[in-house]
Amino acid sequence: MESTSGPVFATLRGERVHLVELGEEHLEAVHRWRSDPEVTRYWIIQSVPTMEELNSWLRRNRESGSLTFAVIDEHGSLIGYTDVFDIDLEHRRCEIALMIGERRSWGRGYAREALSILLGHLFARPDDGGLGMHKVTLAVFAENLAARRVYQACGFQEDGVLRHDMYRDGAWHDQILMSILEDEFRSVSCRSRK
């Protein structure tokens, strides 16, 4: 992995995918993904945002210091995005969310690679252009087995269960809280498997 620009929105390069700052030019695709019930089945928000709402979301993210990256595959195609939010520099922790929105790209190891690249950046020391995080957290629907597999493969551990945390399709669903510490990331290789 190599960083090619400043410490915050470096372009993060892996073997196949790279991450760049998500910009307004990417929002049409985000809108399409957020309109696809297959993609949002286990996403925290299922209502479809308008383009105006997506523009506001991006603006708010920038203002609050969240980092939102576009995931680009080896052909230069935009396939998803990932969000780093609640960045706490005092306690050196943050939360992430990840969406590979192009369904034809599922099952090819892109999520695993994108996550590996992102974690490398989040755990790298500020001197090396990273964020110097100690811990990265996320929440995932218990039923989202593919996502849980990706997170586990990258070294995330389960911290606990938020029981009946979401009501969807006439039923209650648990969310699993997961986290990874800097040492755990360094001892796991989840780069690319394909």
Ligand X SMILES: CC(C)(COP(=O)(O)OP(=O)(O)OC[C@H]1O[C@@H](n2cnc3c(N)ncnc32)[C@H](O)[C@@H]1OP(=O)(O)O)[C@@H](O)C(=O)NCCC(=O)NCCS
Residues contributing to the site for ligand X (CB under 6 A): 39, 42-43, 98-100, 106-112, 140, 144-147, 149-150, 153, 193
Smallest separation, CB 112 to ligand X (Å): 4
- What are residue 86's phi and psi, to 5 degrees? 50, 45
The answer to whether the beta carbons of residues 143 and 161 sit under 8 Å apart is no
Based on CB atoms, which residue is closest to ligand X, 125 or 149? 149
Smallest separation, CB 90 to ligand X (Å): 26
Based on CB atoms, which residue is closest to ligand X, 72 or 99? 99
Smallest separation, CB 127 to ligand X (Å): 30
Based on CB atoms, which residue is closest to ligand X, 100 or 180? 100
Based on CB atoms, which residue is closest to ligand X, 5 or 46? 46
Based on CB atoms, which residue is closest to ligand X, 153 or 181? 153
Smallest separation, CB 193 to ligand X (Å): 5
Smallest separation, CB 6 to ligand X (Å): 27
